[in-house]
Chains A and B, each alone.
Chain A
Amino acid sequence: MRRVVLPRVGTVAAWRREARALARAGVAPEDLVWSVGEAAPDLFADAAGDGGAGAGDAPVAGMSDGLFAAGDGAAGAASATATPSSDPSRELRLPKAAIATIEAALCHSDPERFARAYRLVLALSAGRAAWGDRSDRDVRWALEAARSVGRDVHKMHAFVRFRELPARGPRRAFAAWFEPEHPCLERGAPFFAKRFGDMDWVIATPHLTARFENGRLSFEETGETRPPPEDATEDLWRTYYASIFNPARLMVKAMCAEMPKKYWKNLPEAELIPGLVAGAEARVRAMAEAAPAAAPDRRALALRDHAARVLAKPAPEGPVATLAQEVGACARCGLCRHATQAVPGEGPVGAPLMIVGEQPGDREDLAGRPFVGPAGAVFDRSLARAGVERSAAFVTNAVKHFKFTPRGRRRIHQRPDAGEVEACRWWLDLERQLVRPRVVLAMGATAAEALTGQGGALSRRRGRVETLADGTELLVTWHPSYVLRLRERDAQARAEAEIAGDLALARQLSEQG
């Protein structure tokens, strides 16, 4: 029977070295007795070059990178426990995920943890156990212990409460007393070094104390076990805790599940809990009995007037803006309930050319302007090729709200139905009456339908001049999004050229009038 005594500081690192050397020496798990205690100096004398375990300055960062991997044995090979009969074929080889989990499990309070972990690494390395196989007793233990340690570390990050101490230099100084369930301070402390980089702090636990001074993190055995002196800010914190609590939703069990009572004694706010719970019912009753404010009394009405004055928006300027405001309030069909906003037409009154698309898409709905999304890019390219100035034309849609079905984080475009097109024709007609264009270009079947009552046979109608009931000339072309739906590049280029050609024709017609 061989005794292995691990140091209190740097326990995991020391175990790692020992386990590697013992495995190489072929020592069986049942021949070992592991313990943590006063480090016997002779036992670790030879390991000094390996980060100085037990020297109060444990290697914190990079504890788990490939330490069991073959070829990394040099540093730990000189341990006193290793016998000279080392055999390279006994070198430990473990999956990376296993190493991280086992190192976490080694911070568990289970006194058998070192023996279990040693048995496990031998079995894994020899292929007698598979990592992740929960039917293996030791694998399951490691996973569960690591989980428990992870939870405890998380609770440490949550429930450590610092108190301010008099500063000894330019950096402010803080200290905390914390009692974790497992000896996991070395695992938990680096988080605080990252978070509180500009202050000095000490976290003392019953086992170890972490000290962070001038950016250096170190560990030592805990000497003093008294909590640090009170801090006046705790009163403010208690005020906050008591005020943020809603007595109408008392759920003590849920609180205790997440903030177990074992942590309460070191939480300054916990002393309030019994009083808050006891008084909750009376507070709710008082709220219920309070008479509702007479609504709306004179004071309330005056306040409402005041708010209306402050929030009043300037009236729209010009007929296009006025119409746009009216479109914005439209609820003629159900589409407005789901869309962000109506997208009114834009352009000057008297524009010779009016261009009508189908409906706003995702991007247009967000921006509140027509043709600004991917189809808008095709549209702008075509305008440029046709020599049409966008600001000189009136650009609008047959339907003013975006119709879609929600699919997770995306909106899938839906074609507006005949009823929606008909309901929205009201606005399109008003826009036509206002702008009085010489030529209207309908892009896509929906626009053609809204303008002529017929949306079919686009390929035959394209490029031919039609006449609307009021005598306005009408041209029909593809919708720019049709280009985006085509699979082949050639077809895309052809369709885009056709749109540009139709735009150019529309421009010519509008200039002739």
Chain B
Amino acid sequence: MAQRSLSEKLAILSDAAKYDASCASSGGERRDSRDGGGLGSSGGSGICHAYAPDGRCISLLKILMTNFCIYDCAYCINRASSRVERARFSVEEVVHLTVEFYRRNYIEGLFLSSGIIRSPDDTMADMVRIARKLREEEGFRGYIHLKTIPDASPELIDAAGRYADRLSINIEMPTETSLKDLAPEKDAGGIKRSMADVRMKREDSRSGRSWRGKRPARFAPAGQSTQVIVGADAANDRTILTQSSDLYASYGLSRVYYSAFSPIPDPAKALPLKPAPLLREHRLYQADWLLRFYDFGVEEIGGASGMLDLDIDPKTAWALAHREHFPVDVNRASREELLRVPGFGTKTVGRVLSARRRGLVRYEHLKAMGAVMKKAQPFITCAGWSPRGLLEAEHLRARFAPPPEQLSLI
């Protein structure tokens, strides 16, 4: 194989990395380089430095170390049997790209993943070498997200967690069975054990309490995340969300990313021919939010089919199916009841609760508090507003669903 230029490698190895949805660079340890002894800063909210025409933000240099891989996962562009072009970065090349992009303010840091070459340990060791060189030789204080390789040795994971802000490992499929079918070399148990290991190491690294309560974790301070591919198997949305709520509870994940299965060059036969609608991915994120911030249970989300309504967001869908809980009196309802109102976000609910202490909340106040009144109207009463017959109206659903002619476009 002819020697590829850096630019050619970058093209191949970023193309190979784009199916990972994660781009978060927020949270974690606060660092800066005001002292002049290094480069970079991190902590607080992340910054999206650019957006691609696919609407996804570009915050990190998201690349694979190599797309050579001995695994043969049907959904993956880099699977062993795929005929894509292959390339491999050297440790120095990844460090160079990261630092030079960072200095020009293109990125918040590095998100490094890799195909599995030789063995899991060999691959993980090279990735750790990159992170170590960035931190120790380049004085890099920006964000590093490392994808951990399943079955890599505990010492390597230890080192990875010391240098990286975030670690992640993809669960890939909503059920163990589909993982076995589509990714024969992957082992769901091994993936879960890796997550368990990261959680334990993070907890141990907080040992001792500071005067403010919990100490920040020194090990992977920005936590761990995972990704699941939607639509490559037959699992319904409730199955997917059940897995997510297990994962949040079991391993303290910061995020579960949902990636609608997207066509790849040189596809495998085991895959469905049609891509999953991006709207499904969007609805899953909305439902995920309801689970984490709105006190919803998995069993409350989605209809009898276990699928989310594509036309209506899951919160509105729940409200339409449970009209007996409405209208909610904005001036009296509990926090939990307010959180169930379509058009009210967590911030709005917080503002309503604090405004109630000052006096009666009126309809016109709600808008200034950030409520989406077009959505909320049928479901609330407050000073100056009553939904009257709106809530019982049979056509209430039509108020929220897109008109039929738009439907065909989706």
Contact = CB atoms under 8 A, between A and B. Distances in A.
Interface of A: 134-135, 140, 154, 157-164, 172, 174, 176, 191-199, 215, 231, 233-237, 239-255, 258-259, 267, 269, 273, 276-277, 280, 284, 287-288, 290, 292-297, 299-300, 303-304, 306-308, 310-311, 328, 337-338, 340-341, 363, 365-368, 404, 406-411
Contact of B196 (A164, A277, A293, A340): A340
A310 to B, nearest CB: 6
Given A244-B62, A258-B55, A304-B72, 14 more contacts: A158-B48, A161-B106, A196-B105, A197-B35, A244-B17, A245-B53, A248-B54, A292-B271, A300-B72, A307-B70, A340-B196, A366-B200, A367-B200, A406-B246
A409 to B, nearest CB: 6
B103 A199 contact: yes
30 contacts: A176-B105, A194-B34, A194-B41, A195-B32, A197-B32, A215-B34, A235-B7, A236-B10, A237-B101, A241-B52, A244-B58, A245-B18, A245-B52, A248-B54, A250-B54, A258-B51, A292-B267, A292-B268, A293-B83, A293-B268, A295-B81, A296-B81, A297-B81, A304-B80, A307-B80, A310-B118, A311-B185, A365-B250, A406-B248, A410-B249
Interface in B224-281: 245-246, 248-250, 252, 260, 262-271, 273, 275, 278
Contacts of A192: 105
B321 interface: no
B323 interface: no
B250 A276 contact: no
Contact of A163 (B61, B104, B270): B104
Interface of B: 6-7, 10-12, 14-15, 17-19, 32-41, 47-58, 61-62, 70-72, 80-83, 97, 100-101, 103-106, 118-120, 139, 151, 175-176, 184-185, 189, 192-193, 195-197, 199-200, 245-246, 248-250, 252, 260, 262-271, 273, 275, 278, 292, 365, 368-369
Contacts of B61: 240
Contacts of B38: 197-198
A311 B269 contact: no
Nearest to A301: B81
A243 B6 contact: no
Contact of B192 (A197, A292, A297, A340): A340
A157 B101 contact: no
A66 B54 CA distance: 45
B104 A231 contact: yes
Given A258-B57, A293-B83, A341-B193, A303 B267 contact: no
Contact of B54 (A236, A249, A304, A307): A249
A140 B369 CA distance: 11
B53 A280 contact: yes
A233 B104 contact: yes
Given A258-B48, A306-B70, A409 B100 contact: no
A144 to B, nearest CB: 10
A197 B37 CA distance: 7
A338 B199 CA distance: 16
A192 to B, nearest CB: 8
Contacts of B292: 408
With most chain A CB atoms within 10 A of its CB, the pick from B51, B101, B119, B260 is B51
Contacts of B267: 287, 290, 292-293
Contacts of B49: 158-159
Nearest to A197: B33
A163 B100 CA distance: 10
Contacts of A215: 34, 36
Given A287-B264, A303-B70, A196 B33 contact: yes
A208 to B, nearest CB: 18
Given A236-B7, A276-B53, A307 B368 contact: no
A269 B72 contact: no
A259 B105 CA distance: 15
Contact of A293 (B39, B82, B106, B246): B82
Contacts of A163: 104
Nearest to A366: B196
Nearest to A280: B53
